[in-house]
Chain A
């Protein structure tokens, strides 16, 4: 009998310790903090830091519980991205994960999250495959099917492009995907296009560009990432190219202008956000708060990471649980979430929201809003 009481005491103590233990809610984050696309991860993290400052707690079981985001660096590497998610789930026991930015990383990381049944919210991974046939993967951005069509339309109507060279990074799922969607859509308008290839991290594109320019294209389309876009633009201009420059959402980083300088003037690209674009009632307060915090323009990656953080917290509050499965269900049934980069509603059985897109251009070393396209 004595033994039973001892057991009871231990049970009660450990239970009360367990109940006390929810003094903070841990959320996982895996972003590209270093490496060739460090800008994406850093901008996203700045967005999350601001979101944490504005909303430091989550309302769970009638209590305000502080939120802690565990950030790990995936170095922009597919294998690392998978490792990061593994560590977040297995060692940090997070019930939901934010990030990563790029489609290649999101594909690799998503496979792990799916297997372990924990919801992952990629802020800017646009490749359709990222969420396809996956129950636990969501995104805060539009997909490349839409982006490719918008770019083709813009190229044909606004840039009057007819013969386009597409610079394809063979190592990035995002780039290969977007290049294909653009190509198909552009062909429908009657335009012709051809491809030149490179690999992430390449610095010299003179050979590809010399070859491309010998076919007299009127536009160079670069569905890659900012560093390569900046270098390609520079080398194309130096080789005497005078046509238009067009890029996808991978261009959206201040490094594009810092590295590309005068050579990226006039470049147009699609993205998710611009401070002058009125995307939802939440846009303006965010822009003001961002300026106050960082004293610079808010960017698309930060805006979507900001949305992803709030989306995750809303899902936790809606589920009133820290169980990964219930959080996943709350996310999947999310309706009219007021994000700073547009409202998010997940259609039945899909992790892809329908969202407006923004087209920006570089003017006098600044990103300037050109137009907002609503689906």
Chain B
């Protein structure tokens, strides 16, 4: 492999990893404060794309308004899921909440089949959803970099800064950190814990919508199961980075993106088993470093 091909692979990896990172942050935020793996996150991601799609196709919003609309509505969807499915189980064993999350995921997928139809829809600039400039390819010598990659990296950086600011420098963030330590004690301090949890779900789901829109611009095919695999991958990314840690989710996302692309780059004949490698990484990580790259080992209270 020459340098040029390697660099092209690296660019491809960054652009894939960036989106994984965005979705992984949503997983990690929810896990961080509730110790709940929200398996419906991938489906919330799918709904984010559909909302943006229908905002343009059915309501004739201009693209930027459609995107903001989608982020907002998806955030509300996240909060609604939390209210209906997870809040009643707040004091139930963790495994019940996990199973509920899987149930919510199945519900969302099948509801999408009924509501949006089983056939794939196209998220193309040609259908007028967004300007073609987003799909511009920039050339550096013989290396091609989609404008979208820069956009994705920019969004990831921005999201990281904003989230770290929220979590470490605001009152809401302080409440989030407190809830993650001990929800009952936090309530006793006069914090409305439910509202903080809702807020966290809204942030996570909003990020899923952003990730979804970027994903759909890159891979313009939307169907009710679009989010399933990216959702799983982002979950792996979150675990690899250290679930619960925002920086970890980002590092995990990029690690997974690079690993997936480089496996194909160096062993092209194994490309059909790309997903298997992602799951293998998850297994190895859980066996040898269950807390992930940045995770801290917190002793379990008995």
Contact B12 A261 (CB under 8 A): no
Query: Given that A36-B225, A206-B12 are known contacts, is A240 also in contact with B269, CB under 8 Å in the complex?
Result: no
Q: Does A135 contact B (CB under 8 A)?
A: no
Residues on A with C-beta less than 8 A from B135 are 238
Residues on B with C-beta less than 8 A from A202 are 274-275
Q: Which of A52-60, A78-86, A227-235 faces chain B?
A: A227-235
Fill in one digit per residue for A233-259: 1 if any B CB lies within 8 Å of its CB, else 0.
Answer: 010001110000000000000010011
Contact B119 A42 (CB under 8 A): yes
Residues facing B in A178-215 (CB within 8 A) are 195-199, 201-204, 206-208, 210-211, 214
Contact A210 B5 (CB under 8 A): yes
Fill in one digit per residue for B249-272: 1 if any A CB lies within 8 Å of its CB, else 0.
Answer: 000000000001111110011111
Interface secondary structure of B, over-half rule = helix
* Smallest beta-carbon distance B129→chain A, Å: 11
Residues on A with C-beta less than 8 A from B220 are 231, 234, 259, 261
Contact A35 B268 (CB under 8 A): no
Contact B8 A239 (CB under 8 A): yes
Q: Which residue of B lies closest to A228 (CB)?
A: B221
Residues on A with C-beta less than 8 A from B290 are none
Contact A227 B268 (CB under 8 A): no
Q: Which residue of A lies closest to B5 (CB)?
A: A214
Q: Does A39 contact B (CB under 8 A)?
A: yes
Q: Does A9 contact B (CB under 8 A)?
A: no
Q: Which residue of A lies closest to B268 (CB)?
A: A211
- Rounded to whole angstroms, the CA-CA distance of A33 and B229 in the bound complex is 20
Q: Does A338 contact B (CB under 8 A)?
A: no
Q: Which residue of A lies closest to B220 (CB)?
A: A259
- Rounded to whole angstroms, the CA-CA distance of A35 and B119 in the bound complex is 8
Residues on A with C-beta less than 8 A from B121 are 258
- Rounded to whole angstroms, the CA-CA distance of A207 and B6 in the bound complex is 10
- Rounded to whole angstroms, the CA-CA distance of A199 and B270 in the bound complex is 11
Contact B265 A211 (CB under 8 A): yes
Residues on A with C-beta less than 8 A from B137 are 238
Q: Which residue of A lies closest to B269 (CB)?
A: A197
Q: Tell which of A39, A170, A206 touches B272, judged by Cβ atoms closer than 8 Å.
A: A170
Contact B271 A197 (CB under 8 A): yes
Fill in one digit per residue for A32-45: 1 if any B CB lies within 8 Å of its CB, else 0.
Answer: 01111011001000
Q: Does A325 contact B (CB under 8 A)?
A: no
* Smallest beta-carbon distance A364→chain B, Å: 12
Residues on A with C-beta less than 8 A from B262 are 207
Q: Does A262 contact B (CB under 8 A)?
A: yes
Q: Tell which of B118, B122, B126, B269 touches A42, judged by Cβ atoms closer than 8 Å.
A: B118
Q: Tell which of A38, A196, A206 touches B119, judged by Cβ atoms closer than 8 Å.
A: A38
Query: Known contacts A197-B269, A258-B127, A259-B220; can you find 6 more A-B pairs with CB under 8 A?
Result: A38-B223, A197-B270, A203-B218, A204-B12, A210-B5, A261-B125
Q: Can you list 24 A-B contacts with CB-CB less than 8 angstroms, sorted by A residue number?
A: A38-B118, A38-B119, A42-B118, A42-B119, A171-B272, A196-B271, A198-B274, A201-B225, A203-B218, A204-B218, A206-B16, A206-B261, A208-B268, A208-B271, A211-B5, A211-B265, A231-B219, A231-B220, A238-B144, A240-B144, A255-B221, A259-B220, A261-B126, A262-B126
Closest 4 CB pairs of A and B: A170-B272, A34-B118, A207-B264, A258-B122
